[in-house]
Amino acid sequence: MKMHNFNAGPSILPREVIEDTAKAVLDFEGKGLSILEISHRAKYFQPVVDEAEALFKELLNIPDGYKVLFLGGGASLEFCMVPYNFLNKKAAYLNTGVWAKKAQKEAKAFGEVVEVASSADKVYNYLPKGYTIPADADYFHITTNNTIYGTELHEDPTSPVPMIADMSSDIFSRPIDVSKYICIYGGAQKNLAPAGVTFVIVKEDALGKVERAIPTMLDYRTHVEGGSMFNTPPVLPIYTALLNLRWIKKQGGVKEMQRRAEERANLLYNKLDNSKIFRPTVADKADRSYMNICFVLKDEYLDRKEELEKEFMAFATERGMVGIKGHRSVGGFRASCYNALPLESVQALVDCITEFEKKF
Ligand SMILES: *Cc1c(COP(=O)(O)O)cnc(C)c1O
């Protein structure tokens, strides 16, 4: 049976990227050695990091003065590295979900944190608007795509202070204006690579401005100077990231990724907006994520919620749908539609919903 991979993360990667990774595990570029058994300082691994950084810069149109880092620790470690490196006195945070809130919590250990707005009052099913960002903040932190709740900022906001963004789950799904940010980071396992590598795009002249001492490994300058090689980087996930970046370029770049993301999202939201039994959790179309599409049973079915959710889950699983269970904090269903997901998989889910509706 054909499997349709809607996993939220780790998640789908292009088949050819997985196949080429498998080849490199057996024999890295004809060297007669596995990529797993070569030194990260070997002369043939350095070009992998160099090309991955060059493709980041090319695909995201990153201006001069920025460095791309490949680190360990996940986005969760960046929640702490960001304030360590950039928060002198005050930082502004937009609370749009659990990840945003976790980032904010870490910052509190380093200075004053202003929560400019929050959508926690409605289980984060919308994006706050009309808030004021304090002009004396060191930075304004946002989470561009809220993986758990299915909201997404489709454009870079305007801010009186430099921005920092967690782009774990929508990096490379649209063009971004990197010049508005001093730092963009994310765990790679949603839309870029297997778990194990964290990407950080950092503006070099924004570093070194805080007064505190920073432990070596948590200081971005260490990794800028070391070219992501201060210590052993996650070699294999970096290689897979490179293969995926080459794939994105070959497909037509981030504009094409954005076109495909919109096409997939329109297909599924259109079905959900007209469904007899389901509704999208995010009502405002402007706030809807193209990456993580969350839906629940309509109110009239809530008395049979548990039974019907189980029934749909089994029905969809029988038809090859994988990973559509909603996050435990939201319930219902979530279809993650990352770059590598073919439109046919979304069509298969739409057909599956249509078929299930016939029972009603
Ligand atoms: C998954 C996710 C994280 C956590 O990433 P880790 O790499 O597991 O630390 C943080 N932020 C967002 C938006 C995510 O989707």
282-326 residue pLDDT tens? 999 999 999 999 999 999 999 999 999 999 999 999 999 999 999
Task: Compute how many other C-beta atoms are within 10 angstroms of the C-beta atom of residue 32.
Answer: 7
Do 288 and 125 contact (CB within 8 A), yes or no? no
pLDDT at 263 over 90: yes
SS3 239: helix
Cα(44) to centroid of ligand 1, in Å? Answer: 31
Distance 68 CA to ligand 1 centre (A): 18
In this structure, the residue with its CA closest to atom 2 of ligand 1 is 168
Q: Which amino acid is at 271?
A: K
Q: What is the pLDDT of residue 111?
A: 97
Domain boundaries of the chain, sorted by first residue: 15-251, 253-357
Q: What is the mean pLDDT of residues 237-241?
A: 98
Contact residues for 11 (Cβ-Cβ < 8 A; gap 6+): 5, 189, 190, 191, 323, 336, 338, 340
At residue 214, the pLDDT reads 98
pLDDT greater than 90 at residue 41:
no
Of all residues in the chain, the percent with pLDDT exceeding 70 is 100
Percent of the chain with pLDDT strictly greater than 90: 96
Quote the CATH superfamily of domain 253-357: Aspartate Aminotransferase, domain 1 (3.90.1150.10)
Q: Tell me, using a 6 A CB cutoff, whether residue 233 lines ligand 1.
A: no
Model pLDDT, residue 42: 78
pLDDT of residue 43: 82
User: What distance in Å separates the CA atoms of residue 265 and residue 280, rounded to the nearest whole number?
Assistant: 11
Q: What is the mean pLDDT of the chain?
A: 97
Tokens of 187: 């765990």
* The pLDDT of residue 246 is above 90: yes
CB atoms within 10 A of CB 73: 18
Catalytic (active-site) positions:
99, 166, 190
CATH class, 15-251 region: alpha beta
Name, in order, each residue with C-beta under 8 angstroms of 335's C-beta and a sequence gap of 6 or more: 6, 268, 292, 293, 295, 324, 346, 349
Answer yes or no: same fold for 15-251 and 253-357: no
Contact between 84 and 185 under an 8 Å Cβ cutoff? The reply is: no
